[in-house]
Structure formats: C-alpha cells, structure tokens
Chain A
Amino acid sequence: DTAVSQTPKYLVTQMGNDKSIKCEQNLGHDTMYWYKQDSKKFLKIMFSYNNKELIINETVPNRFSPKSPDKAHLNLHINSLELGDSAVYFCASSQAGTTYGYTFGSGTRLTVV
C-alpha cells in the first residue's frame, strides 16, 4: 500500500546505456514530479506533470525524457547515460497545489560507471 513507489531502488549501469525509472502513485494526486539529488545533496526539480501534461521542464539535458501514460504514472527515461547522471532520483506527487506538500517515493540511486 505504498503511496509513491519507484522502481528500481538501485541501478548500476555503464556509460552510454539507456535506462528507465518507473514511478507510480496510488494517492489520486493529479501532479507528479521528478527531483534529482546530486552529490552535493541539493534536491532539484527536473520535471512536473499535471494530468499527463508537462508543466515544468527545468534545464535538464534532452537525454532525459519523462513519460506519463496516465496521471498515476510518471516514468523517467535516460538516454546515453553519463557519469554525471549518477545521483538519487526522487519521484513525488501532490494534489491541490504545493501548499500541502509533496509525497515522495523512496528514491532510485543511479550509479553510472
């Protein structure tokens, strides 16, 4: 009965590969997000989707492509992985604006070797 679930939890892959991280929420929220926590521990927003529509697209390389098949899912596909992509990626969801806070998944630790 996890509210926001991400898979996989850990991902180790070689440079140049393409990988996907999946996220699902069962809270009935209408907005979903991807955040990246880098080695300096900053949590930075990458994308947000509201009802399957892209709302926010921060300055992220176009190797990163989010896909939202429905409002309960927001997947992140990354092409041609680079060493600098190593980070923890958090999915989150929210309802009724940001004032109620986000519910985060437990994160996916991506290591590119």
Chain B
Amino acid sequence: DQQVKQNSPSLSVQEGRISILNCDYTNSMFDYFLWYKKYPAEGPTFLISISSIKDKNEDGRFTVFLNKSAKHLSLHIVPSQPGDSAVYFCAASGDDKIIFGKGTRLHILP
C-alpha cells in the first residue's frame, strides 16, 4: 500500500530545459513533503521541503509545488544541469517518520 507514489521511473531532459518530477500521495494527514536526491553508492540527500499549509517553495533552481486538493506535488528544476542527473525521491512526513516514494531517475542530456 504505497502512500507516496512516483509513477515515472525515469525522465530524460535536455540540459538547460526545465525538469518536472511528479509525486502523488494518499494520506491527507501528512504535514510536510520533501524531495531527496540520490547519486549511485551514496545515501539520499535532502533537497527541498514544503509545509502542507503552503503551495509553493523555491530555493534557487529548485521549486516545489503542492496541490493539496489533488494530493499532488511536483519538483521543478530550471535550468537543468548535468549534475542534476540522479534519482529523486519524493517523501512525506507524518507520525514522526518519513515515507518515501520509489524514486524517479532523471537523466540530463547534453
């Protein structure tokens, strides 16, 4: 029973263009949503988060949008850079734990 779903296992984007990673969740009681980035043979690293009471949070090239009525969030990366190639995990926080999605592998093409 996946509470956090990332339906796209992979995504390829041209360098310089916008990357949009999507995530859906089922539990309306989550209070925070987070995005993590993971390189091979490394642990996930925290990227950006958003409170459930907000609809947008921006940090440099990264923006997370939250649509509570649709139980959907997305991560926008613009402009995309080669170093952005990684696996991105969507995660949701509640009950003192973080629940992760399955991840989306982002390939930035030269």
A45, A99, A104: the one contacting B44 at CB < 8 Å is: A104
Using CB atoms and an 8 Å cutoff, list the residues of chain A in contact with chain B.
4, 33, 35, 40-45, 48, 55-56, 90, 92, 97-107
Cβ–Cβ < 8 Å partners of B96 in chain A: 48, 55-56, 97-98
Smallest beta-carbon distance A24→chain B, Å: 14
What 1/0 mask marks residues of chain B from 44 to 67 whose CB sits below 8 Å from any chain A CB? Answer: 111001010000000000000000
Cβ–Cβ < 8 Å partners of A45 in chain B: 97-99
Cβ–Cβ < 8 Å partners of B34 in chain A: 101
A105-B97 in contact given A41-B102, A42-B102, A43-B89 (Cβ < 8 Å): no
A4, A48, A99: the one contacting B43 at CB < 8 Å is: A4
> A105, B89: Cβ atoms under 8 Å?
no
A106 and B42 CA atoms in complex are apart in Å by 4
**When A and B form their complex, what is the total count of cross-chain residue pairs whose Cβ atoms lie within 8 Å?**
57
Using CB atoms and an 8 Å cutoff, list the residues of chain B in contact with chain A.
31-32, 34, 36, 41-46, 49, 51, 89, 93, 96-100, 102-103
Cβ–Cβ < 8 Å partners of A104 in chain B: 36, 43-45
B43, B49, B51: the one contacting A92 at CB < 8 Å is: B43
> A107, B43: Cβ atoms under 8 Å?
yes
Cβ–Cβ < 8 Å partners of B32 in chain A: 98-99
Smallest beta-carbon distance B64→chain A, Å: 13
A33, A43, A92, A98: the one contacting B93 at CB < 8 Å is: A98
A45 and B96 CA atoms in complex are apart in Å by 11
Cβ–Cβ < 8 Å partners of B93 in chain A: 98-99
Which interface residue of A43, A103, A107 has the most chain B CB atoms within 10 A?
A43
A99 and B91 CA atoms in complex are apart in Å by 11
A105 and B45 CA atoms in complex are apart in Å by 9
> B97, A42: Cβ atoms under 8 Å?
no
A98-B98 in contact given A90-B43, A104-B44, A107-B43 (Cβ < 8 Å): yes
> B102, A102: Cβ atoms under 8 Å?
no
Identity of the chain A residue whose Cβ is nearest the Cβ of B99 in the assembled complex: A45
